[in-house]
Amino acid sequence: MLEACELNSVSEEDYLELGRAGLGSCLLGGLPDWLVAYSARVVRFINFERTKLPEQILRHNLEEKRKYCIDISLDAERNDAEIQAEGVYNQRLQNLAITLDKVIPPSLNDIPEVRYVMRCVFGDPKKAPPPIERLSPEEAVSFLWKGEGSLVEELLQSMAPHVEDETLNDLRSKIQVHDPSWSDNILKELQKSLLWLRDEVRNLPCTYKCRHDAAADLIHIYAYTKCFIRVREYKAVTSPPVYISPLDLSPKYSDKFTGLQEYCKTYGENYCLGQLVFWYNQTSVDPDSSLFRSSRGCLSLPDIGCFYSKVQKPSRHRVYGPKTVKFMLLWM
């Protein structure tokens, strides 16, 4: 997704790949370039999966059948695996087509349909900007080092009640000296500055009220993060009202209300991004909600302020220790 959004252009190879998959101008017409490029990359994944899936299905089926059967025809099982893989392949392509159809309608007559969010928001879908963008080096410095609400600013504010003023002022002065903005290679210098800050924070004495060691570990993770992105939220869209009568429902619901009930659905700011990320799942009612949960990945980085107590008598229970770090590294 990020690669397609950054390129924001479609190559001839992309169109050929999409054409071989049966996705032509009827579906792709009117799409912004970044979305066509993203679709081509999804198709490449589907094609790659198609080559690898039969072997995986065959292995799984043989393992299951050997638990109950002695006589197994390998040729028949291999043929079944190919058929199942072909079914998955066709289902994948269908889900991708449905996703693109949900995001943008094929004609202007479909504007009232709420699922066609891009046309509702931008009028001409080709004007829809990419939903994600990589932070520039300068923006990364602002986000981590010296911008309002940056990681470093929050760190200093959180540790202020727990360290002496002289120590805090000294650290603040050193941070200004290590400002990476002046460098010709800002990202490399930013990493060096973060690693320096990690060591400075780690050398501060810890108490049960201030866990400088944990804050240093978090800074270490930020220092080795390769890419920072920003989600560009679209305007929320609310559907035209749909009127539901008791006759539209099953008998067990018909006595729940009388007359017509008005129903509208609101599509959130990240609906399009969620729908595109979860193109393979057409059962999700609110893909943007699923996007929020899944975007955390296998490791959710905490707020750096949580390592510093904000209450007078915090618990002395040591939660963050070698066992926690080992478990975290295992997940990473």
DSSP letters of 15-44? HHHHHHTT--HHHHTT--HHHHHHHHHHHH
Q: Is 236 exposed, middle or buried (0-12, 13-18, 19+ CB in 10 A)?
A: middle
Helix ranges (DSSP H) in 203-321: 212-223, 251-254, 271-277, 287-294
Q: pLDDT in tens for each of the 332 residues of the chain?
A: 999 999 999 999 999 999 999 998 888 888 899 999 999 999 999 999 999 999 999 999 898 888 887 788 888 989 999 999 999 999 999 999 888 876 654 443 333 333 467 878 888 888 889 999 999 999 999 999 988 889 999 999 999 988 899 999 999 999 999 999 988 999 999 999 999 999 999 999 988 888 899 999 999 999 999 888 888 888 888 888 888 887 777 777 666 777 788 888 888 888 888 888 888 887 777 777 777 666 655 566 778 888 888 766 666 666 777 888 788 778 77
Give residue 107's pLDDT.
42
For the CA atoms of 71, 72, 74, 76, the dihedral, rounded to the nearest 10 degrees, stands at: 120
Closest by Cα among 88, 112, 115 to 101 = 115
Give residue 297's pLDDT.
58
Q: Is 144 exposed, middle or buried (0-12, 13-18, 19+ CB in 10 A)?
A: buried
The Cα–Cα gap between 60 and 80 comes to 12
Beta bridge partners of 238: 266
Q: What are phi and psi of 189, to 5 degrees?
A: -70, -35
Give residue 109's pLDDT.
39
Are 257 and 235 in contact by the 8 Å Cβ rule? The answer is no
The Cα–Cα gap between 34 and 127 comes to 11
- Under 8 Å CB-to-CB from 33, ≥6 apart: which residues? 8, 9, 10, 126
Give residue 295's pLDDT.
62
Are 113 and 238 in contact by the 8 Å Cβ rule? The answer is no
Answering whether pTM is above 0.95, one says: no
Give residue 115's pLDDT.
41
Give residue 135's pLDDT.
92
Give residue 188's pLDDT.
94
Q: What are phi and psi of 244, to 5 degrees?
A: -115, 130
Give residue 112's pLDDT.
30
Compute and round to an integer the Cα radius of gyration of the chain: 27
